[in-house]
Chains A and B, each alone.
Chain A
Amino acid sequence: MSISLSTSNFSKKTVRAAIIKSVAKNLLIFSPLIMVMMFINYRVDPGKLFKSGGYEKGIAVILLQGLNVANIKDCDERLTQRYYIEGDKKPKDIIVLGSSRALQINANILNNERFFNHSVSGATLEDFFAVWGMYEEKNSFPNTVILGLDPWILNKNNGQDRWKSISAYNYVFMDSVKVRKEHNEFFYSLNHKIFQIKKMLSIVSPSYFQTATHYLIKNTSEMNRADKVIGDYYPTRLTNLNTDIKLADGTMSPGEGGVSESLKYDAKTYISNDQVYSLGKFYELNRSSQQDFEKFVDHLYKRNINVVFFLTPYHPYVYNYFMNSTKYCMVAESESYFRMIGNQKHIPVIGSYDPMKCGLVEEDFCDGMHPNRRAVNKLAKLLVTEQSSGKGVSAF
């Protein structure tokens, strides 16, 4: 590696050749590590990127049988929604569109069996459109749509692109309601292809390798635990196991021990990053997203569908931080905006980003942004109050 060559002895061409040779030699030295990384990424594949949807299809099939699915390791939640809607023969009465923060709204709270929660992690407006696009394609619509509205859906810089795995349906919706005038089929198909290529490139992604190794280590250590479920997912009627369960109504039941012991520490960790989850560089409410959102709501209204806005509270420590930080002043602005739209369009707005307003305390959260099971009951009261006040949520 410390060969002494210089242009004083060699021509420029020779130095160039020597540099190329050196690069090749270094690549060769590191190639065993790179090969190991690629092998682990492909074999462990924690995000199921190389399994072309078979994993998600299986989950959807179990859910469609009215059973819960236990021990889901990691899956493309969006693909699960797609296969579920494609295979669903029973029209739905109420559906929820939102992020993991809206996953606590379940069939029991609303006492309705024709309910499904389509919430997916880090959902953005594009996810709303894509899932709704699937209903448009089927020409089968629910009576009520609860929209779990997170502030980041109005943040141009939310950094979410997971919706691209179902972007074709986003296009279906865009096409049917002309959300954006400038939409273009070529652009969407290109976008989808780029996303597929990006997915494939994950095989050489160091961050994917980190996820894969942590996943591998976790699984290996769990194998030694007698009480731990190992292996693939499986159907169950139980709702309380040592592993995460995807319930038949689309919601999640976290495995026991899934709730953190040190809530305040988790909440602190949540805001300790330079950019809080999807809320970084949130300088303004994105006008284009606002327009799309309003068109979407109008579209649902035209279809005679009841709409409810649901604002999931943040952990008190996190909310307090937002309120005292100019960097996150758009969180409060978002809530005001959603309330204003609700008011204008006579849509009930339930909940608030402010936990105090919902009567939630620190112990009602799993981490900085997700309410836990205990909070579900408190939030349920808000929904029931809304139902009894008769403000137009007839489906409740």
Chain B
Amino acid sequence: MLFNSIQFAVFFVVVYTLYLVLNHKLQNRMLFVASCIFYGAWSWQFLLLMFVSITTDFFCAKYIHKSSDNKIRKRLLILNFVVNIGILGFFKYFNFFETNLQTLLRTFGFSVNTNLLHIILPIGISFYTFQAMSYSFDVYRKQLVPTDSFLDYGLFVTFFPQLVAGPIERASHLLPQVINPRVLSLDQFHEGSYLIFWGLFQKIFIADNLAKIANSCFLPADSYNGMAVILGLYAFAFQIYCDFAGYSNIARGLGKLMGFDIMVNFNLPYFATNPSEFWRRWHISLSTWLKDYLYIPLGGNRKGAIITYRNLAITMFLGGLWHGAAWTFVFWGIYHGILLVVHKAFTPLLQKIPVIKNYFLERVWFFLRVVFFFHLVCIGWLLFRAQSMGQAYKMLHGLILNFQILPGLGIRLMSANLIFFVGLLVAVEVFQFMNKDQMVVFKGNRYFKVAFYYLCFILVMLWGDFGVNQFIYFQF
């Protein structure tokens, strides 16, 4: 059941109507059942798997909290960790490790059985596993008191707006909203409606149309034209952003309609001028999760430069692996790790650059830094989107050594499409950035808003892709 499908629209109308008439206790029960139906619509077998994870987390956290013996607490935490990572590892990484192990053994002349277990990846497993694990971590650290209600905890993990592609919520933020009665207001309703509208626009008009350009540029080939590669990279950069940010906006919007406040997951990431800033703006719920539960426990930046670099590299390597069981994701993570390390190493030097006092020159300098870093991010997207490292290499080769200035008919057409589909997004984001407010359009005057909604509506009606395409991050 995808957010951009008629089935979901019908599902949500029914859920929301019930939500408006029920009291808090029944609202939670109804939402829990609705979330199970929402997930079960993909696969009821994997719903059972999710229940295994939820049950383990709930009881482990409960007994961690009850126990005063540190050894028992630690063992329970490890048990919970092993169960969660075991499920995630088996379903997500087993085939990857098996294939690579077979290749390695074959390299050394061993004959190996090539039969693979064709394991299907449960949708959203990485998201709900991380969300669930953070709960037991926080309880172990005594930063959170666990709930006694299995239903409340179950709803915290399964809450359908953010179940399959995040944001990865923390229990300290979302659980109190589940436990306590929520306040509904007309302002929230309007804000939520705007977020849903904008999220759907990002998905249906921008992401799904750009997908056609990106897909055709990333087709397997013997060699690539640099111009086509760069076009494909631009298209994919905006596709993945609008696809994922669109999903997050819809999730936040749905939450707001029901009185929930789901965390902001994207904050104009392509306005970042360096990797640290980028990760404070992109997939914020994952980067803060990795920071809190991996980077800081590893020592963060408290143990000197070398250890800090190591910690950054490990965090980004695992962050890359979190996205998928493929070398392309691993190298994408490593690439961002390198960017972070290099930036960290050169920060003292960069701070010595004198501040430009002329407003215009300062804006130009800022613009150049944004453009430069955007291209570094695009190189990362090449690794992320390529179907194999071989393809990534060929595309990089084409980008550097086969850059033809005169593009063919197809490329010209695709370039025009790219500008058309991205134009409004760029305008809106510049406006948001200048006003330092992502809701600036929503806060505009009535006539401006009606004109904006009309424009978006017409664009979607005329050029939106109604093929009900899956969100990219569902596969992670």
B416 / chain A contacts, CB cutoff of 8 Å: none
Tell yes or no: A380 within 8 A of B by CB.
no
Q: Are B461 and A4 in contact (CB under 8 A)?
A: no
A37 to B464, CA, bound (A): 14
Specify which chain A residues have a CB less than 8 angstroms from the CB of B442 in the assembled complex: 2
A5 at the interface (CB under 8 A from B): yes
Contacts A6-B185, A262-B409, A268-B216; is A206 near B190 (CB within 8 Å)? no
How many contacts between A and B, using CB within 8 angstroms?
92
CB atoms of B193 and A6 under 8 A apart: no
Q: Mark A9-22, 1 if CB is under 8 A from B, else 0.
A: 00010011011001
Contact B469 A321 (CB under 8 A): no
Instruction: Tell me whether A262 and B410 are in contact (CB under 8 A).
Output: yes
CB atoms of B457 and A19 under 8 A apart: no
CB distance from A335 to the nearest CB of B (A): 21
A224 at the interface (CB under 8 A from B): no
In contact, A19 and B186 (Cβ under 8 angstroms): yes
- 7 new A-B contacts, CB < 8 A, other than A5-B186, A265-B408, A268-B219, are A1-B449, A4-B186, A18-B186, A33-B458, A262-B409, A268-B216, A274-B211
Q: Determine if A226 is an interface residue (Cβ-Cβ < 8 Å).
A: no
A-B CB proximity, top 8 nearest: A272-B216, A6-B185, A5-B186, A207-B466, A265-B410, A272-B215, A18-B186, A15-B184
Task: For A33, give its contact among B446, B449, B457 (CB under 8 Å).
Answer: B457
In the assembly, what is the distance between CA of A210 and CA of B454, in Å?
Answer: 16
Given A19-B20, A206-B466; A4-B450 close (CB under 8 Å)? no
- Asked if A26 is at the interface of the complex by the 8 Å CB criterion, the answer is yes
Question: Is there contact, CB below 8 Å, between B462 and A213?
Answer: yes
Whether A7 sits at the interface, judged by CB under 8 Å, is: yes
Selected A-B contacts with CB under 8 Å, 24 pairs: A3-B187, A4-B186, A4-B187, A5-B187, A6-B183, A6-B187, A19-B184, A22-B190, A26-B193, A30-B453, A33-B454, A33-B457, A33-B458, A37-B461, A207-B466, A209-B461, A210-B462, A262-B410, A265-B408, A268-B410, A269-B216, A272-B215, A273-B215, A321-B220
In the bound complex, CA of A22 to CA of B449 (Å): 15
Closest to B449 in A: A1
Q: Which chain B residue lies CB-closest to A209? A: B461
Residues of B within 8 A of A (CB): 20-21, 183-187, 189-190, 193, 211-212, 215-216, 219-220, 408-410, 442-443, 446, 449-450, 453-454, 457-458, 460-464, 466, 469
> Residue of B at shortest CB range from A320?
B220
A210–B193 CB distance below 8 A: no
What is the bound-complex CA distance between A265 and B216, given in angstroms?
Answer: 9
The answer on a CB contact under 8 Å between A12 and B219 is no
Closest chain A residue, CB of each to CB of B410:
A265
The A contact surface, by secondary structure, is: helix
Q: State the CA gap A2–B458 with chains docked (Å).
A: 22
Residues of B within 8 A of A16 (CB): 20-21, 184
Q: In the assembly, what is the distance between CA of A209 and CA of B459, in Å?
A: 12
The answer, yes or no, to whether A190 is at the interface (CB within 8 Å) is no
C-alpha spacing A28/B463, complex, angstroms: 23
User: In whole Å, how far is A30's beta carbon from the nearest beta carbon of chain B?
Assistant: 6
Q: Is the CB of A321 within 8 A of B219?
A: yes
Q: Can you name the residue of chain B whose Cβ is closest to the Cβ of A7?
A: B183
CA distance A274 to B216 in the complex (A): 10
Contacting residues, chain B, for A269 (C-beta < 8 A) = 212, 216
**A271 contacts chain B at the CB level, 8 A cutoff:** yes
Shortest CB distance A356–B (Å): 18
Q: Is the CB of B463 within 8 A of A210?
A: yes
Say yes or no: A273 contacts B453, CB within 8 Å: no
Any B CB within 8 A of the CB of A389? no
Q: Indicate if A197 sits at the interface (CB-CB under 8 A).
A: no
Is A111 located at the chain interface by the 8 A CB criterion? no
Asked if A324 is an interface residue, CB under 8 A from chain B, the answer is yes
Contacts of A29 in B (CB 8 A): 450, 453
* Residue from A12, A15, A325 within 8 A of B186 (CB atoms): A15
Asked whether B215 lies within 8 Å of A274 as measured between CB atoms, the reply is yes
Which residues from chain B contact A205 at a C-beta distance below 8 Å? 466
In Å, the complex CA distance between A26 and B450 comes to: 10
Q: Which residues of A, 26-67, contact B by the 8 Å Cβ criterion? A: 26, 29-30, 33, 37
Closest to B465 in A: A207
Given the complex, which residues of B lie within 8 Å of A19, measured CB to CB?
20, 184, 186, 189
Q: How far is the CA of A15 from the CA of B190 in the complex (A)?
A: 12
Evaluate contact between A273 and B462: CB separation under 8 angstroms: no
Give every chain A residue within 8 A of B443 (Cβ-Cβ): 2
